[in-house]
């Protein structure tokens, strides 16, 4: 940020009871975001839940017509339906809306932003101008995909393919609960619940979900690919995307294959990622995994590896804390907006 952050701001987290909402609250605290007050909002199911903010006990409040009054920023971290229902009310109240849920309607005039990539992919002019504005903060998969293409852009790759292994927490707390229940029951030789994924996720890898799972995995993949394409079109190579559901609670893992007319120097590749804030393992550092990535705000990348068959290609292996990465990006959007001179 080029400017110091301004005076304290009033902030609301809509969808505060979700995994992403809880992580967002923690990131605001960890980054010392200048919030005079953080209002925790959700639907009537979660309202009244006791939690804490800034080390003090507080309650999650139900969203009302007055919830967004005098809020500088409103972060939407709940369900897509929840966001679609309430975002316009927040805008009309004069708040700057930052959506992490992906629930904005297709016709909403919004701006998708990954501030960490501004150096490699300068953003277009922002319209409408803040503070009355609508921003989309993409999820961990889209941030990873866009970061890979942005880092490799100046090395002129001919193709990039990314295989993602998302955790069940991408489906929220229900996904985490289902994997936990399936794991326990399978170890006890009992039947398993399939309410979320309509498939056995525990001890398994899935290229598709059961027929009752909505949305199906191929729709999730298409949505991720579309988000990455929207961000990169006209600015960097658009990668091919595939998703395999992993039996992991938290943490995105991914493998990247990139091909070039002539394979670049590995140190140049690693330097390009470091420039964008990606942590690349040092020479004597172990390869990152989802355990080491937990609680980290940056994408973690192993050392670059070549391909013995395709001499012009290289492989990348990386991980990221999916909740932390997404929440940090959203908070960085707010920080960047506060850094703009009035």
Start-end ranges of CATH 3.40.50.720 in the chain? 9-138+326-339
Reading the block at residue 56, the tokens are 């003090």
Q: Which CATH number fits domain 142-322: 3.30.300.20, 3.30.360.10, 2.40.50.100, 3.30.450.20?
A: 3.30.360.10
Report the top-level CATH class of 9-138+326-339.
alpha beta
Is the peptide bond prior to 301 cis by the omega test (within 30 degrees of 0)?
no
Q: Do the beta carbons of residue 3 and residue 340 sit within 8 Å?
A: yes
Q: Where in the chain is the domain with CATH 3.30.360.10?
A: 142-322
Whether the bond between 215 and the residue before it is cis, its omega within 30 degrees of 0, is yes
* Other Cβ atoms within 10 Å of 180 Cβ, number: 13
- Tell me the pLDDT of the chain (342 aa) as tens digits: 334 455 568 999 999 999 999 999 999 999 999 988 899 999 865 554 645 555 554 678 999 888 999 999 999 999 999 999 999 999 999 999 999 999 998 878 889 999 999 999 987 665 555 444 899 999 999 999 999 999 999 999 999 999 999 999 999 999 999 999 999 999 999 999 999 999 999 999 999 999 999 999 999 999 999 999 999 999 999 999 999 999 999 999 999 999 999 999 999 999 999 999 999 999 889 999 999 999 999 999 999 999 999 999 999 999 999 999 999 999 999 999 998 765
Please provide the DSSP assignment of 22-64 as one string: HHHHHHHHHTT--EEEEEEEE-TTTTT-EEEETTEEEEPEEP-
DSSP character string of 126-143: PSSPTTS-EEE---HHHH
Q: What is the pTM of this model?
A: 0.92
| Separation between Cα atoms, residue 4 and residue 230, nearest integer Å | 31
């Amino acid at each position: 940020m080029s400017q110091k952050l301004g005076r304290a701001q009033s902030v609301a987290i809509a969808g505060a009871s979700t995994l992403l909402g809880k992580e967002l609250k923690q990131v605001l605290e960890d980054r010392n975001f200048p919030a005079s007050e953080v209002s925790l909002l959700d639907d009537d199911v979660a309202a009244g839940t006791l939690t804490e903010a800034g080390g003090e006990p507080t309650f999650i409040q139900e969203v009302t017509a007055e919830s967004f009054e005098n809020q500088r920023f409103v972060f939407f971290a709940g369900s897509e339906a929840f966001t679609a229902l309430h975002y316009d009310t927040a805008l009309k109240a004069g708040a700057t809306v930052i959506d992490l849920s992906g629930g904005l309607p297709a016709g909403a005039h919004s701006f998708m932003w990954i501030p960490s990539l501004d150096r490699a992919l300068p953003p277009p002019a922002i319209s409408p101008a803040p503070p009355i504005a609508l921003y989309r903060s993409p999820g961990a998969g889209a941030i990873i995909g866009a970061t890979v293409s942005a880092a490799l852009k100046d090395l002129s790759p001919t193709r990039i393919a990314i295989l993602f292994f998302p955790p069940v927490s991408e489906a929220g707390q229900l996904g985490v609960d289902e994997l936990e229940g399936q794991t326990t029951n399978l170890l006890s030789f009992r039947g398993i619940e399939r309410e979320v994924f309509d498939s056995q996720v525990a001890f398994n890898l899935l290229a598709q979900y059961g027929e009752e799972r909505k949305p199906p995995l191929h729709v999730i993949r298409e949505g991720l690919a579309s988000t990455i394409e929207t961000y990169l079109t006209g600015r960097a190579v658009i990668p091919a995307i595939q998703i395999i559901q992993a039996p992991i609670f938290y943490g995105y893992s991914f493998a990247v294959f990139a091909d070039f007319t002539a394979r670049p120097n590995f140190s140049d590749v690693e330097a390009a990622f470091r420039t964008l804030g990606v942590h690349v393992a040092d020479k004597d550092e172990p390869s990152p995994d989802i355990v080491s990535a937990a609680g980290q705000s940056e994408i973690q990348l192993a050392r670059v590896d070549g391909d013995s068959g395709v001499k012009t290609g290289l492989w990348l292996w990386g991980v990221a804390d999916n909740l932390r990465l997404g929440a940090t990006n959203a908070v960085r959007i707010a920080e960047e907006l506060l850094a703009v001179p009035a």
